[in-house]
Amino acid sequence: KEKTLAMIKPDGLLGNYTDEVKNVIINSGFIIFKEMILQLDEDRAASFYAEHSLKSFFPNLIKYMTSGPVLVMILEKENAVADWRALIGPTDSKKAKITHPHSIRALCGIDSGKNCVHGSDSPQSAQREISFFFQEESAGQAVIQHDEL
Ligand code: GTP
Ligand code: MG
């Protein structure tokens, strides 16, 4: 089965949306394969969102993502990457409330910055992001353990 990386961002944890989001996850057929709560520091947040480093919103993004703990989860399901992206809805939570009222970002996001949840945008991203947080995991390719060599 395919794996993807999901995250409940600081506003989601602070706003007590964790249980509600997890219920949506379970009811949509995902398995929560692994999960972990952690606090990102500026370097780690910048590295996670490195693709956006030149965007004007980047400083705000780093401030937001380091403002409190996040919950990262490896979700597993057939077509997990695309299905989780569909479930969270558009980046801008204000638009999500209008165009995707049943999406997670419509439920708990505030605007295009504070949007409550993250999802990997491709199988390649999923693999990178899962390895970023869970060193022993890889979403796709088999990993040869050192002791097997
Ligand atoms: P992620 O799942 O978090 O990667 O969101 P996304 O894939 O829907 O959007 P994208 O990767 O383009 O942007 C990453 C994050 O940067 C978003 O989730 C927002 O938190 C933030 N962001 C994106 N666009 C804007 C914007 O126009 N303004 C602000 N303030 N933040 C933005
Ligand atoms: Mg993204």
Whole-complex ipTM = 0.97
SS3 content of the chain, % helix, strand, coil (to 5): 45, 15, 35
| Distance from Cα 120 to the centre of ligand 2, integer Å | 6
Pocket of ligand 1 contains residue 1 by CB under 6 Å: no
Calpha distance 6→14 (Å, rounded): 17
From 58, 115, 121, 122, the mutation candidate for ligand 1 (largest count of ligand atoms within 8 A of CB) is: 115
The answer on whether 63 is annotated among ligand-binding residues is: no
For the chain, 149 residues long, give each residue's pLDDT as a single digit of tens: 999 999 999 999 998 999 999 999 999 999 999 999 999 999 999 999 999 999 999 999 999 999 999 999 999 999 999 999 999 999 999 999 999 999 999 999 999 999 999 999 999 999 999 999 998 776 555 444 445 44
The answer on whether 91 is annotated among ligand-binding residues is: yes
Residue with the smallest CA separation from ligand 1 atom 3 is: 118
Pocket of ligand 1 contains residue 39 by CB under 6 Å: no
CA 94 to chain centre: 19
pTM: 0.91
- For every residue of 57-108, DSSP letters joined together read THHHHHHHHTSS-EEEEEEEETTHHHHHHHHH--S-HHHHHHH-TTSHHHHH
| Distance from Cα 92 to the centre of ligand 1, integer Å | 8
CA 70 to chain centre: 9
Which contiguous run of DSSP H or E holds residue 117? Answer: strand 117-119
